[in-house]
């Protein structure tokens, strides 16, 4: 693909459509003026996509459209001040990276996956490739946890574990001789790694079924939401407030993902206004009561302020909770969601190992060089 073949203008008339190979059309004019695939609310140098491009990327991966994947990586990374070279050289670089991702045999170390599982896995690699390099250094970031969220509905059997651990432990030992940060990392043994196979019981599988129907970015947001609400079920929160930065930076329009999560049935609008008010700060309560025309001495405790708000302003409290978009776990998924965080923690080290030493992307990239 030549650089002159790519549109640079952010003026887009069509709405997002994953079947269209036109990347700017999918962005639908929601991006930055100068970088139409990047967020308007983040500095372009942060390289945060303006929307969840995973449906568009999934279609490109399914069709084997390598040039389109390279264009995506180029458009996301070209505002990075640390990327050197001409625009043509940068486009070529990310085109080669896209080729490496598409060429890597995903079943080399992750066996017995489904067709949908491998498709999601390759799309996830493209999303991560916009921010990460697939080497041992990826273990130091949050990519493994994000990947665990992306891939939570899918099962794989991890193979060649001994070889991966040998390479991982060798990397940590070598880096530990040079940098204090890595010196704190300890060698891993076989019993620290488990295949990413989620529980098979009907409750957990029902929750995974709802997650599997969400695009990858929205799925990661949903996992953030479920883990938080399960850890603190007595404190309803808005969906937007429960999306981690590590999830947002891979591309997400939170209003869109929040709507999809609510439509999935994983959460429901909050009904317990007492629990919601308890999560307010003392300053929030004083401000609310003042706006409602209720005189409350600043000497009152938070508990007393909450009692007065509930007793004198229940309708206004409920209205504010609805406007805020507070949600709670759907009763049907409450028990399964309480186990989701434990499963993610159990397989996080596995994904850290695989991303650093088992994906094969770096190996294929060296071959293209």
Residue-wise pLDDT tens digits, 13-62:
334 566 667 899 999 889 999 999 999 999 999 999 999 999 999 999 99
DSSP element (H, E) containing 327: strand 326-329
Of 315, 325, 66, 339, give the one whose Cα is nearest residue 199. Answer: 339
Q: How far apart are CA 112 and CA 312, in angstroms?
A: 60
Which domain-ending residue is among 53, 74, 103? Answer: 103
237-256 pLDDT per residue, tens: 889 999 999 999 999 999 99
Which domain-ending residue is among 71, 103, 135? Answer: 103
Strands (E), 25-166: 110-111, 157-158
* Burial of residue 65 (number of CB atoms within 10 Å: 0-12, 13-18, 19+): middle
In the chain the first and final C-alpha atoms are separated, in Å, by: 18
Per the domain annotation, does 31 fall within a domain? yes
Per the domain annotation, does 235 fall within a domain? no
Per the domain annotation, does 330 fall within a domain? no
Cα dist. 323→42, 238, 257, 286, 319 in Å? 25, 10, 17, 19, 6
166-180 pLDDT per residue, tens: 999 999 999 999 999
Look at residue 271 in the predicted model and tell me its pLDDT: 84
Domain total in the chain? 2
- Region 209-224 average pLDDT: 97
Half-sphere exposure of 37 (CA within 13 A, CB side): 25
* Burial of residue 364 (number of CB atoms within 10 Å: 0-12, 13-18, 19+): buried
Per the domain annotation, does 331 fall within a domain? no
Of 265, 217, 207, 208, give the one whose Cα is nearest residue 55. Answer: 217
Q: How far apart are CA 346 and CA 351, in angstroms?
A: 10
Q: How far apart are CA 157 and CA 314, in angstroms?
A: 53
- Region 106-130 average pLDDT: 96
Domain that holds residue 300: 273-324
Confidence of residue 200 (pLDDT cuts 50, 70, 90): very high
Residue with tokens 């069509």: 14
Q: Exposure pattern of 153-164 as b/e (b: 16+ CB <10 Å)?
A: bbbbebbebeeb
Per the domain annotation, does 266 fall within a domain? no
Higher pLDDT, 6 or 293: 293
Q: At what angle do helices 216-231 and 202-212 cross, to 10 degrees?
A: 140
295-339 pLDDT per residue, tens: 888 889 988 998 998 888 888 888 888 888 889 999 999 999 999
Higher pLDDT, 233 or 220: 220
Look at residue 83 in the predicted model and tell me its pLDDT: 78
Provide the pairing of β-strand 237-238 with 267-269.
Answer: unpaired
129-142 pLDDT per residue, tens: 999 989 999 999 99
Cα 82 to chain centroid distance, Å, stands at 24
Q: What are phi and psi of 344, to 5 degrees?
A: -60, -45
Per the domain annotation, does 60 fall within a domain? yes
Radius of gyration over every alpha carbon of the chain, rounded to an integer in angstroms: 23
Sheet order of strands, 267-269 included: 237-238, 326-329, 267-269
Cα 140 to chain centroid distance, Å, stands at 17
Which domain-ending residue is among 103, 125, 150? Answer: 103
Per the domain annotation, does 289 fall within a domain? yes
Per the domain annotation, does 45 fall within a domain? yes
């Amino acid at each position: 693909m030549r650089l002159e073949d790519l549109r640079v203008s952010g003026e887009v008339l069509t709405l997002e459509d994953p079947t269209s190979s036109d990347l700017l059309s999918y962005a639908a004019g929601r991006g930055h003026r100068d970088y139409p695939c990047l967020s308007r609310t983040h500095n372009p140098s942060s390289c945060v996509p303006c929307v969840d491009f995973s449906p568009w990327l999934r279609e490109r991966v399914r069709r084997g459209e390598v040039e389109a994947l390279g264009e995506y990586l180029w458009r996301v990374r070209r505002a990075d001040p640390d990327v050197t070279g001409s625009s043509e050289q940068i486009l070529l670089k990310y085109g080669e990276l896209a080729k490496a991702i598409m060429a890597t045999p995903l079943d080399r170390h992750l066996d017995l996956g489904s067709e949908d599982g491998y498709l999601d896995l390759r799309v996830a690699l493209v999303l991560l490739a916009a921010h990460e390099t697939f080497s041992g250094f990826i273990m130091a970031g949050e990519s493994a946890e994000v990947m665990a969220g992306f891939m939570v509905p899918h099962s794989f059997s991890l193979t060649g574990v001994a070889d991966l651990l040998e390479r991982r432990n060798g990397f940590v030992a070598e880096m530990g001789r040079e940098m204090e940060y890595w010196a704190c990392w300890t060698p891993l043994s076989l019993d620290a790694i488990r295949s990413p196979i989620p529980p098979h019981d009907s409750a957990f599988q029902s929750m995974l079924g709802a997650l599997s129907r969400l695009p990858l970015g929205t799925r990661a947001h949903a996992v953030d939401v479920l883990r938080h609400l399960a850890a603190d079920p007595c404190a309803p929160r808005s969906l937007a407030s429960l999306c981690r930065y590590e999830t947002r930076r891979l591309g997400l329009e939170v209003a869109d993902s929040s709507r999809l999560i609510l439509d999935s049935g994983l959460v429901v609008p909050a009904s317990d206004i007492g629990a919601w008010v308890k999560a307010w700060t003392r300053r929030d309560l004083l401000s609310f009561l003042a706006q409602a025309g209720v005189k409350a001495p600043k000497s009152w405790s938070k508990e007393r302020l909450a009692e007065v708000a509930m007793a004198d302003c229940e309708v206004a409290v409920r209205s504010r909770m609805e406007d805020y978009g507070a949600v709670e776990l759907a009763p049907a998924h409450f028990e399964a969601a309480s186990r989701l965080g434990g499963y993610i923690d159990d397989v996080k080290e596995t994904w850290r190992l695989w991303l650093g030493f088992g994906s094969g992307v770096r190996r294929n990239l060296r071959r293209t060089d």
